[in-house]
Structure 1
């Protein structure tokens, strides 16, 4: 744009877009969304004295319509710059078409929480509906149940409506019937009038869109004065909000979740916090519908339809019969429970002495030969893909990602171990995962140096570990970066890298696998260790949690140089991303394990307690961690030197 050139009229530019439908109701917008990726923009029918209703962007995701409010930031008019900025998440755009074009061309999710991607615009037929700044009052509900025929001038009703929807009013209103005149005033139509107490019906929740105040419907008799200094609902007058309209202020936050979820939470928080009336019981997330204003009696019809729908679903489920679902495929149910103070020691500390095993006896020695032979035969019976899925299943169980009960979630205070990992009371979980990571790495290393036969036997073991690492990597594999880090730690131990004859024969006979290890796996894991990323949600089922756990437990601290500070910052940013996207990782893990039939013996072989007993015996597994690891590294060094002596 040249200097001094006036920007394009935003209203004309918006009306030229076929995906903009003008003023619609929510039901009309949802009826146009048929398949995933369909999207359209529309103006909400709720208006205020500040202008037209908020701009909404609706998209179909998973067969359900999701609605997102586009934040509009009004700017002071200056030549050569836009009159307003439009924002959906963090980035701001000079116009709504520019915002939509960016999200459609880059296929970015409209919000990280929903994952909805707009790809197919729903074109309108004909010109868009005009976005009016005022509607005839018989089309929308006023503060009074009467109309203009009762002798009240329509201007007075407009003032009442403006007062009701003003952006400068308190955002949590309970019952409009509590409004009164000035302090000390009594008379007909005041809340203290006993006749008015009979007229005002019980309040019912009324959901609004965007930043409009949450109001409750109530019918007021005509003639009630509405004073600007009223406290609205409560005996104590709340502090006065700023006089400037909210649209002129820069937003302090953006909407990252679909409004149906956000408003469901706000409704529950309001009813639980005030305690003035009994609200509805806990509902599933799917039952929290994003509602606009309803006519009297419409809520009763909706409740009857919901009961009929639930009865029909129950009848179908009884006909189909009970179906058992594996615990790793069961989704989490959203329950509105009372707050329970999180507890420490969830999960409990590892107790290898109390671990009962079918592969190990009640008492076993460290590295028992019969157990090692059984494990080798067990692994040879399964391909690397199956072994990788067994690792993912047991790792998700150990990290409290899958199979977490409602009681455990209440004790943790969060829904997933990926969130607990970043919290102070997640200390024991971090210790357990670090112990598991080290035990799996040492077990993989002993599989290599424990081969006392010819060099070809060790080469086959190295090849199997490299193929397992490739099967664990994402994309294309199971996406278990925790197990990948354990396998790569084992392959890069000094006791393994010094076996020059073994690695030379691997490069000669299996060049492709050797190149994949050197050119793909090592740089990938090195970048993860340096905090370059933990794995994108959706592609990765279990992120790289080891650097976060090491940092928070003080196991690995870096120096004071600039590179170490950047690495520290990246690690903390990765922890935040991991906690924010815990549900997406859980869904990805559940998708990888869908239809999986695990082998009990192989699942037991990947338990942390089993690895501790296998490596250090039933007695030595309870010793201190530092002492155990120091002695075992000495054993690895001795076995490595016996295979390929120095010099």
Structure 2
């Protein structure tokens, strides 16, 4: 039996059935060794290998480990137990042609694919598998960050107008800090916008901020930047009495497989702090909810604005419907080029 190994589009593989319930998958697997791959509804759309073995149908979730985009290497790795593969087809090819057990515990071997009949209900490639909660958090962070950068770089008017936009973002960050709104993911996104190279290089604009809005400039340098640095290093404030949404970005990046910067000993210490902080956040989740409820007491959301503040809407607004579905690395690369052009138009290099 030939198992495709070089297809980038998972939906093109005959063993891939798309979104399929556990019950329907089990009905399709009749003999020992029969297998298929499906998108699990209960596991956020993650790929699952369903295989009949010794009279029972077993289900094995394929882990997807995202990598920091780098030239010449895949954007994610796929694994069942120990070994990782650059694509889902490569993983299936290795296990099926090598007759390797899908898990050492069960000894189940996938040997005969159950071919999909007809088109699947939804087609998506490996790069656009439904997002995990961790990736959704990163997507929201980047969308808010880029929207904040556009608020500055889109000001084509007088210099004072751009300085006022910077001041507005600084004031927003101050309003989100612990003890105020306590929205640390929002704070990190706003600070990310201010620290983007395309924004931080605007020397005339920052000089005008210091001249016209000295208090905001001092708060940015002396309070907000050290605060964000401490949060990113896992050493920032996270008192549930002052925070409604904790700073989960460092833990999310670890879960997504991103490498921590710095020497090995420092990165290991930072990793331990991040993991300890993530565990503490999970334990404090009920207290965060209580603090958020107190902050929101009496607040009435505007239904017309609710949709505009969702991550999916922001992605469509920034990239368009088709662009929002492109691989993350491609989206960011294109948008970074746009921001660079806008930045150069505002303050050209001399």
TM-score by length of 1: 0.34
Determine if contact 1:534/1:578 at 8 Å carries over to the other structure. Answer: no
Q: CA deviation at 1:622?
A: 1.2
Matched with 2:168 is 464
1:516 has 2:219 as partner: yes
Q: Map 1:489-504 onto structure 2 (within 5 A).
A: 489-504=192-207
1:345 has 2:41 as partner: no
CA RMSD, Structure 1 to Structure 2 (Å): 1.9
Q: CA deviation at 1:562?
A: 1.9
Write the distance in 1 (CA, Å) between the matches of 2:281 and 2:297.
22
Aligned length: 227
Matched with 1:440 is 144
Q: CA deviation at 1:445?
A: 0.3
Determine if contact 2:178/2:237 at 8 Å carries over to the other structure. Answer: no
2:246 to 543, 555, 561: 543
Write the distance in 1 (CA, Å) between the matches of 2:173 and 2:215.
14
Change (3 A) 1:432 1:534: farther
Q: Map 1:41-120 onto structure 2 (within 5 A).
A: none
Write the distance in 2 (CA, Å) between the matches of 1:460 and 1:559.
35
The one-character-per-residue Cα deviations of 1:304-329 (angstroms, maximum 9, x if unpaired) are: xxxxxxxxxxxxxxxxxxxxxxxxxx
In proportion to residue count, which structure has more helix? 2
Change (3 A) 1:534 1:603: farther
Higher relative contact order (CA 8 A, sep 6+): 2
1:586 has 2:289 as partner: yes
Q: CA deviation at 1:618?
A: 1.9
Q: CA deviation at 1:619?
A: 1.9
Q: CA deviation at 1:346?
A: 8.1
Write the distance in 1 (CA, Å) between the matches of 2:295 and 2:258.
32
Q: Map 1:164-179 onto structure 2 (within 5 A).
A: none
TM-score by length of 2: 0.62
Write the distance in 1 (CA, Å) between the matches of 2:259 and 2:143.
17
Determine if contact 1:533/1:574 at 8 Å carries over to the other structure. Answer: no
1:552 has 2:255 as partner: yes
The one-character-per-residue Cα deviations of 1:274-318 (angstroms, maximum 9, x if unpaired) are: xxxxxxxxxxxxxxxxxxxxxxxxxxxxxxxxxxxxxxxxxxxxx
Matched with 2:35 is none
The one-character-per-residue Cα deviations of 1:218-273 (angstroms, maximum 9, x if unpaired) are: xxxxxxxxxxxxxxxxxxxxxxxxxxxxxxxxxxxxxxxxxxxxxxxxxxxxxxxx
Residue 246 of structure 2: SS of its match in structure 1?
coil
Matched with 2:265 is 562
Determine if contact 1:479/1:540 at 8 Å carries over to the other structure. Answer: yes
Q: Map 1:224-243 onto structure 2 (within 5 A).
A: none
Q: CA deviation at 1:444?
A: 0.5
Residue 321 of structure 2: SS of its match in structure 1?
helix
Q: CA deviation at 1:534?
A: 5.7
Q: CA deviation at 1:537?
A: 1.2
Q: Which has the higher Rg, Structure 1 or Structure 2? A: 1
Determine if contact 1:449/1:643 at 8 Å carries over to the other structure. Answer: yes
Residue 132 of structure 2: SS of its match in structure 1?
helix
Matched with 2:337 is 634
Q: Map 1:180-195 onto structure 2 (within 5 A).
A: none
The one-character-per-residue Cα deviations of 1:113-144 (angstroms, maximum 9, x if unpaired) are: xxxxxxxxxxxxxxxxxxxxxxxxxxxxxxxx
Determine if contact 2:227/2:236 at 8 Å carries over to the other structure. Answer: no
Q: CA deviation at 1:561?
A: 2.5
Matched with 1:354 is none
The one-character-per-residue Cα deviations of 1:334-393 (angstroms, maximum 9, x if unpaired) are: xxxxxxxx931189xxxxxxxxxxxxxxxxxxxxxxxxxxxxxxxxxxxxxxxxxxxxxx
Q: Which runs of 5+ in 2 are unaligned?
A: 1-40, 47-129
The one-character-per-residue Cα deviations of 1:91-113 (angstroms, maximum 9, x if unpaired) are: xxxxxxxxxxxxxxxxxxxxxxx
Q: CA deviation at 1:604?
A: 2.4
Change (3 A) 1:553 1:528: same
